[in-house]
Amino acid sequence: MRARSPAVYQVPAREGVPLLSVRKLRVEFPSRRGTLVAIDDVSFDIARGEVLGVVGESGAGKSLTGAAIIGLLEPPGRIAGGEILLDGAPIHALPAERMRRLRGRRIAMIFQDPLTSLNPLYTVGRQLVETMQTHLELSDRQARERAIELLDEVGIPAPRQRIDHYPHQFSGGMRQRVVIALALCAEPELIIADEPTTALDVSVQAQIIALLRRLCRQHHTAVMLITHDMGVIAETADRVAVMYAGRLAEIGPVEAVARRPAHPYTRGLMGSIPVLGADVRRLVQIDGAMPRLNAVPAGCAFNPRCAEAFERCRRERPDLMAAGATRAACWLYDGEQAAPAGVAAAASASGGEA
């Protein structure tokens, strides 16, 4: 592990305070036909050095949650409720200029397509140097040397030569490594990685996953990893949050969620993944589709697709509650609710703990 640059100032950690706390986050999109609620009552923490995986179908609200945290919601989207705390300090209502200074310095983002993050007219070295000098007091020479160090750290061969190359001169996997270097150049405390491996070959995906994990350990950086790929989550994350229709369905240690999923939706996701060596003739299929924002059903949003739903699921929306080693938003785990015998038995047989 290389020594950190003495010019980089790290904000001291506050003992006992999570690096990122999201509390009852609500994101709305006003429209002529009414207000659409895209994120509803979402809460979670991320500790320093932790990787939190956020998984779910397209439209579940994963990327919107990340965009709200870093202050990049597209109008007319807005944070309509809740709090976002960075090291205990609220950042959800910061003025635009203060939020701009925060981005890159304390929070960075890695996007799915590296070409959207890199200016094709500038060399990668110029982009790294300009980003560093925006946030840090570094001379041209210091910034260039640090850029070369970063390119070397993320696995770019011959970094002293490649630093003066343009984005189109790199392969897709190498461009994504450059983007990771760009995210790291001011040594942020939190990185939001939005589908960082989706556009890459499987072999390159594995390299990027290993790189993110290694950098997280070395720099003690927190990572929010947004993806639809449970394989990526299993390889990378410490905990996983499963989202459905703008809410958290389940959250807990990645091994517990993968091996003993509690929520019926999570069990469906896990059951749809093929397992090497398993003699399974047909994978689990979740019938139906995720509801549109203007047609989210009453009660639990998953109830029309859930084979274990009972009357309360159609009337009342559950909050996260203890479900074995995880927490699940499901009435099967309400100690005051006696679920129908057949439903409880199905939950137990599927790996849940009622």
Q: What is the pLDDT along the chain (354 residues), one digit of tens a residue?
A: 343 433 333 445 566 789 999 999 999 999 888 899 999 999 999 999 999 999 999 899 999 999 999 999 999 999 999 999 999 999 999 999 999 989 989 999 998 888 888 999 999 999 999 999 999 999 999 999 999 999 998 999 999 999 999 999 999 889 999 999 999 888 899 999 998 887 778 888 888 888 888 878 888 899 999 998 888 888 889 999 999 999 999 999 999 999 999 999 999 988 877 777 667 777 778 889 999 989 999 999 999 999 999 999 999 999 999 999 999 999 999 974 544 444 444 444 444 433
Nearest CA to 117 out of 103, 138, 102 is that of 103
DSSP 104: T
The whole-number pLDDT of residue 60 equals 94
Phi, psi for 26 (deg, rounded to 5): -130, 125
Residue 118: which residues within 8 A CB-CB, separation 6 or more? 124, 127, 167, 175, 178, 179, 182
203's CB contacts (< 8 A; 6+ apart) are none
- Phi and psi at 258, nearest 5°, equal -75, -40
**CATH number of the domain located at residue range(s) 20-241 in this protein:** 3.40.50.300
Q: How are beta strands 51-55 and 107-110 bridged, if at all? A: unpaired
Given this model, what pLDDT does residue 217 score?
A: 83
Residue 310: its pLDDT value, please? 95
Please state, in angstroms and rounded to a whole number, the distance separating the CA atoms of residues 250 and 266. Answer: 7
pLDDT of residue 106: 94
Model pLDDT, residue 114: 82
- Give yes or no for a contact between 221 and 215, defined as CB atoms under 8 angstroms apart: yes
Provide the whole-model pTM. Answer: 0.87
pLDDT at 14: 61
**Predicted local distance difference test score (pLDDT) of residue 122:** 96
| The pLDDT of residue 12 | 54
Q: Which of 326, 320, 322 lies closest to 256, judged by CA?
A: 326
Q: Which helix (H) or strand (E) holds 181?
A: helix 172-184
Q: Provide the pairing of β-strand 107-110 with 190-194.
A: parallel
Question: Tell me, what's the pLDDT at 2?
Answer: 41
Question: Cα–Cα distances in Å, from 104 out to 36, 130, 131, 185?
Answer: 30, 12, 8, 8
What's the rounded Cα separation, in Å, for the pair 154 and 2? 12
- The domain limits of the chain are 20-241, 261-273+294-354
d(CA 226, CA 289) in angstroms, rounded, equals: 20
What was the pLDDT predicted at 191?
A: 94
CB-count burial class (<10 Å; 0-12, 13-18, 19+) for 122: middle
